[in-house]
Amino acid sequence: MAREQGVKNIVENRNARREYEILERIEAGIALTGTEVKSIRKGAVVIRDSYAKTSGGECILMNMHISPYEQGNRFNVLPTRERRLLLHKREIRKLHAAVKEKGLTLIPLRLYFRDGRVKVELALCRGRKLHDKREYEAVRAMQREGERMVSARRRTYTGVEDTL
């Protein structure tokens, strides 16, 4: 059977963009069991409260919840077990140094399939303060309003009225 081509999103951590200032993004593979991959294909995964840590020359994803596969019986594993991330040594050393020195955090932004393999988009992040979160929301609201105005102007300019 041929492997799937391209990128297919599974789940995205939208809350991370609001809670953290994203400094750098890294793509990492993830070590999973067969039943976990089947559950992920069904979309039974939550990455909202998960984070990554580096220790002992490894990068480990913590607190990601993958629901047990219904037909998995004895092959199922714990839903929130620690999962090893597949990165090069130099990438792990670089992330470890950044987390230790600057007080940054590793947060998964999204989980996706790339050419049939499960990948995690990790972000090196700095936490936002409450006033930064409010500012972020205000900027987003202004951008949405501007897009609405441009869209409305485009509809009236082309003569196409919204009849809904």
For residues 77-83, give the mean pLDDT.
87
CA distances, 107 to each of 60, 111, 121 (Å): 11, 11, 9
Residue type, 79: P
Task: Kindly tell me if the per-residue pLDDT of 77 is higher than 80.
Answer: yes
Cα–Cα dist 13/22, whole Å: 12
Average pLDDT on 147-157 reads 82
The confidence band for 60, taking pLDDT boundaries of 50, 70 and 90, is: very high
Predicted local distance difference test score (pLDDT) of residue 128: 82
Of 54, 61, 52, residue with least CA distance to 81: 61
Question: Is the pLDDT score of 158 beyond 80?
Answer: no
- What predicted TM-score, i.e. pTM, was given to this entire model? 0.76
Contact between residue 106 and residue 123 where contact means Cβ atoms under 8 Å apart: yes
Q: 21-35, 85-99, 115-129, 149-163: which range is least confident on average?
A: 149-163
Residue 23: pLDDT above 70? yes
Torsion over CA: 34, 80, 17, 96 (sign): negative
Tell me which residue has tokens 């041929």: 2
Quickly state the pLDDT bin for 122 (edges 50, 70, 90).
very high
What pLDDT, on the 0 to 100 scale, is given for residue 113? 92
